[in-house]
Amino acid sequence: MISQMFAIALKDLRLLLRDRGALFFTIVFPLIIAVLFGMVFGRVSTPGPLDVVVVVTEDGPLARSFSSALQADSALHVQVAVNRESAVEIVRQGKAAAAIILPDGFDARAAALFSGGSMPVDLFGDPSRAAELGLLEGKLMEIGFRQFMLAVTDSDRLGRQTIDIKRQLEDSKDLSEEERSAITKLFAGAQELSAVRKAEGEKQTKKVGGMSEFRPVRIRTEMLAQNKADPPSTYAVTFPQGVVWGLAGCVMAFVTTLASERAQGTLTRLRAAPLSMHLILASKGIACVISSMIMQGLLLALAWSVFGLRPINLPMLILAMLVIAISFTALAMMIAAIFRSGGGTDGAGRALILVLAIVGGGSIPLVFMPPILRSISVVSPFRWAIAALEGPLWRGGSIPDQFASIGSIALVGLVCAVISLGGMARWRRGM
């Protein structure tokens, strides 16, 4: 039985190799997509607000002011995390472009701006969004200069408040002459301090224009999930996209083959042989899994050898590839089972695959999509396939998180398999 099943599977693979059109869209077209998207998206950035995570490790007034300025900026969509570890994990999962950490000692360093100090900021970035991180660093500098100017204007505010309070106390009738004299001396000293701070601030402000080395913010940037020998490029993002287009080609090649064999009576003739329908369908599923694994292996091997994209967890990547191949085989079986005619399977199946691929990030990366499309994309197996590949390929993250992505695509495959079983039962009754 096993030999018969593999004989049918090898027959389907030979048919795929003979069909140059199907072979082109299974192997060559995904490679073109991966390289083309890598060239295009390496030069653009998202037009919407940039998703960032902010952590204030020291709860001081200056750190709170800086954090509030970040949250008030319309160019940023800020999420506040409780600690550095959780913020970094959010970035690793691709849910934010960067984590902004205001470390211990922020207030002390910020208070020394007039004496040449700088506000320290730790920036942990997603390597797939390098262009946006450059813009974010500029935004941090802008906010830092605003905080610097606030430090100057605070002296004016202190002087005005001191004069107002002094006038109110002088008009009070509840104070003795000794108390009034002591308070007058106290506020005279406060006004003198305000004048000195204002003069120092104006002096420092004049120096800023000629101080090319002056920076209100000192940013320490670290890219997450970075291979020190070969850092990730835009191709790390676009090659998984190329893989899903290759999977789409495999799915449609076998869906079309299955539909045409049914329409031409080939399946009926196979059933006349001592072969069960389950064995016939299993053999076709094995052929689809094998072709999907070969396609993924070829694309990722090319990414490794030509573009220097080395996986950070090879065993997990192989597991993800296998689960993806099986799940997309279940998707192919589901499409073939839903549509009864060959024309319906070919036309509607291709339309369904195209929509799922586009919504799932096959044409436009999820980070470039509006929020509503990102929410819809959870129904697409292509989204979970990309996530399952990105984790072990370059993004990293904890092992449970990577298993969660692989489990998501496996769940999609299980749902497709259950639906296809019902459709295949109707097939057998109709044959």
| Per-10-residue mean pLDDT, the chain, length 431 | 71 68 64 62 58 89 88 90 90 86 84 68 85 85 80 54 59 67 65 59 48 70 60 73 87 82 72 70 88 91 86 93 96 83 67 84 76 84 92 82 91 92 67 53
pLDDT at 60: 82
Please state, in angstroms and rounded to a whole number, the distance separating the CA atoms of residues 153 and 162. Answer: 14
| One-letter amino acid for residue 222 of the chain | E
Beta carbons within 10 angstroms of residue 63's beta carbon? 20
Residue with tokens 């799932």: 360
Residue with tokens 């390929």: 393
pLDDT at 339: 72
Please state, in angstroms and rounded to a whole number, the distance separating the CA atoms of residues 200 and 198. Answer: 5
pLDDT at 114: 55
pLDDT at 407: 94
* 372 Cβ contact list (under 8 Å, min separation 6): none
Do the strands 98-102 and 50-56 form a parallel or antiparallel pair, or are they unpaired? Answer: parallel
CATH number of 50-223: 3.40.1710.10
Spans of all domains in the chain? 2-41+234-430, 50-223
Helices (H) and strands (E) in the chain, counts: 16, 5
Burial pattern 307-328, b for ≥16 Cβ within 10 A else e, equals bebbbbbeebbbbbbebbbbbb
